[in-house]
């Protein structure tokens, strides 16, 4: 359901908010050049540089002149990018974990709110995404639902209302209906005819990305220390803002280089291999990765909705009708989702147990972003199951700031010591 600015907020209130915004003293936004350089130098792979350069150029990329195609912003891992590609637009995922933007977000919105929401608000309100035509916000957690209203002063919003039961048989009809409405909206918005072929081509494009991602995921689990966690999460973070074809091409190059390196250089990795779960990890929020790296520990796998959850599942089309394609998209995005906002804890726990069984990880670290209750609840349920199975588990709670780095290090170090 598209929300028009004038329906949600009177013009006079919109004006007041914009006037306040103009008078705020905005902090300087870092271009992150130092962080990027540090991780680039740490990488054994020269093809990783491409992804770090995307980060360095991202301010320019989001300026009005950054792209030739219309750019459509969205949040979460529930929006079918394929429909956006089929409309001839570039999808850009706006979930953000930048501490400076989160602080700006606090100028407008309650400070006691999840940092992802504050960071997204800060980025959009400071016009970081100048080139975005409209933003799709799904009804995921409560914060995301209210975000649809919070952003009305800044952008045109499309609100995607999805039922919270991830059971495919019960909900597929409703999800497909919501995707069909969105398809109708984007056709009208850009006055485009979107054919079945356009939709199938878009699915082929994202499936190429999924194929290379799966190879890399498996490679990392089996060959620790070659594609390190910084390179991996930088690749996945840049998939938010890059064309899927372009991203796949460079990921394939990186993978070829990693395979060559592993065949010449048998890894003598002796550290612990961890499965990371919980809240998403998005550049530059690498505090937990920094600590694990410093302690000689490899994140061999993850379930994050910014990485594995986003890129692992393909679109599998059984029936090449428009409805069949939309149903296949809902199967990819909602039925497979491990987002804690949905009913479907069995699916999440099954996936964790499968990954541990397949890749023999030494333990699980669950990273919970402070002030996110759904992830916290999900983490507690997981803890009981893993404890019963005697799988080592550590729950950590943190935010985007660096103040608790020492404390985190002490807890993770103690956890690594108990691993066999």
Binding site for ligand SF4 (CB under 6 A): 76-78, 95, 114, 116-117, 140-141, 143-144, 279-280, 305, 339, 341, 369, 372, 374-375
Sequential DSSP letters for 217-281: HHHHHHSTTTS-HHHHHHHHHHTTTS-HHHHHHHHHHHHHHHHHHHHHS-----S-EEEEEES--
How does strand 273-278 pair with strand 156-160?
A: unpaired
- Give the tokens for residue 222: 């089996």
Cβ neighbours for 282, distance < 8 A, ≥ 6 positions apart = 95, 96, 97, 233, 237, 240, 306
User: Residue 132 or residue 369: which is nearer to ligand SF4 going by CB?
Assistant: 369
Write down the least CB distance from residue 315 to ligand SF4, Å. Answer: 17
Write down the least CB distance from residue 117 to ligand SF4, Å. Answer: 5
CB-count burial class (<10 Å; 0-12, 13-18, 19+) for 345: middle
User: Residue 301 or residue 379: which is nearer to ligand SF4 going by CB?
Assistant: 379
Write down the least CB distance from residue 62 to ligand SF4, Å. Answer: 20
User: Residue 36 or residue 365: which is nearer to ligand SF4 going by CB?
Assistant: 365
Write down the least CB distance from residue 151 to ligand SF4, Å. Answer: 13
**Phi, psi dihedral angles at 139 (to 5 degrees):** -80, 85
363 SS3 class: strand
> Distance (Å, rounded) from C-alpha 36 to C-alpha 33?
5
Q: Which residues of 259-281 are buried (b: 16+ CB within 10 A; e: fewer)?
A: eeebeeeeeeeebbbbbbbbbbb
User: Residue 143 or residue 300: which is nearer to ligand SF4 going by CB?
Assistant: 143
Write down the least CB distance from residue 29 to ligand SF4, Å. Answer: 21
Which segments of 4-161 are extended strands (E)?
A: 71-74, 90-93, 132-138, 156-160
For 163, other C-beta atoms within 10 Å of its C-beta total 15
Write down the least CB distance from residue 76 to ligand SF4, Å. Answer: 3
User: Residue 252 or residue 404: which is nearer to ligand SF4 going by CB?
Assistant: 404
User: Residue 157 or residue 374: which is nearer to ligand SF4 going by CB?
Assistant: 374
For 396, other C-beta atoms within 10 Å of its C-beta total 18
User: Residue 358 or residue 373: which is nearer to ligand SF4 going by CB?
Assistant: 373
Write down the least CB distance from residue 167 to ligand SF4, Å. Answer: 17
User: Residue 145 or residue 204: which is nearer to ligand SF4 going by CB?
Assistant: 145
Write down the least CB distance from residue 339 to ligand SF4, Å. Answer: 3
User: Residue 36 or residue 92: which is nearer to ligand SF4 going by CB?
Assistant: 92
Write down the least CB distance from residue 337 to ligand SF4, Å. Answer: 7
Cβ neighbours for 127, distance < 8 A, ≥ 6 positions apart = 154
Question: 3-state DSSP helix/strand/coil percent for the chain, to nearest 5?
Answer: 55, 10, 35
User: Residue 79 or residue 297: which is nearer to ligand SF4 going by CB?
Assistant: 79
Write down the least CB distance from residue 9 to ligand SF4, Å. Answer: 22
Tokens 């691993």, residue located: 419
205 SS3 class: helix
- Give the tokens for residue 92: 């850009």
- In contact, 72 and 240? CB cutoff 8 Å: no
């Amino acid at each position: 359901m598209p929300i028009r600015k004038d329906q949600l907020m009177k013009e006079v209130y919109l004006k007041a908010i914009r006037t306040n915004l103009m008078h705020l003293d905005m902090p300087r936004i870092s271009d992150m050049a130092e962080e990027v350089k540090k991780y680039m130098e740490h990488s054994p792979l020269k093809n990783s540089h491409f992804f770090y350069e995307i980060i360095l150029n991202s301010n320019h990329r989001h300026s009005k002149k950054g792209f030739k195609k219309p750019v459509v912003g969205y949040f979460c891992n529930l929006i079918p990018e394929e429909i956006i590609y089929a409309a001839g637009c570039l999808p850009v995922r706006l979930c953000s974990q930048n501490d400076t933007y989160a602080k700006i977000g606090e100028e407008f919105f309650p400070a006691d709110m999840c940092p992802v929401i504050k960071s997204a608000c800060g980025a959009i309100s400071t016009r970081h995404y100048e080139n975005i035509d409209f933003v799709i916000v799904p009804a995921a957690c409560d914060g995301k639902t209210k975000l649809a209203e919070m952003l009305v002063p800044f952008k045109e919003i499309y609100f995607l209302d999805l039922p919270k039961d991830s059971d495919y048989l019960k909900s597929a009809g409703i999800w497909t209906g919501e995707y069909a409405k969105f398809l109708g909206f984007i056709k009208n918005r850009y006055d485009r005819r979107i054919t079945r072929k356009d939709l199938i081509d878009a699915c082929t494009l994202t499936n190429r990305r999924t194929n290379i991602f799966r190879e890399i995921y498996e490679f990392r689990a089996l060959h620790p220390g070659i594609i390190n966690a910084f390179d991996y999460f930088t690749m996945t973070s840049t998939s938010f803002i890059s064309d899927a074809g372009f991203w796949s091409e460079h990921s394939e190059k990186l993978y070829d280089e990693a395979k060559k390196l592993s065949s010449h250089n048998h890894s003598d990795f002796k550290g612990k291999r961890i499965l990371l779960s919980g809240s998403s990890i998005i550049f530059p929020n690498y505090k937990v990765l920094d600590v694990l790296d410093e302690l000689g520990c490899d994140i061999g796998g993850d379930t994050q909705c910014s990485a594995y959850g986003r890129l692992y599942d393909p679109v599998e089309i059984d029936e090449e009708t428009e409805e069949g394609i939309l149903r296949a998209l809902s199967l990819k995005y909602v039925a497979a989702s491990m987002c804690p906002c949905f009913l479907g804890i069995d699916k999440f726990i099954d996936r964790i147990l499968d990954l541990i069984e397949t890749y023999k990880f030494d333990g699980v670290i669950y990273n919970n972003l402070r002030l996110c209750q759904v992830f916290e609840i999900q983490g507690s349920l997981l803890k009981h199951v893993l404890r019963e199975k005697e799988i080592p588990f550590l729950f950590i709670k943190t935010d985007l700031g660096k103040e608790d780095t020492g404390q985190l290090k002490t807890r993770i170090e103690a956890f690594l010591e108990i691993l066999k």
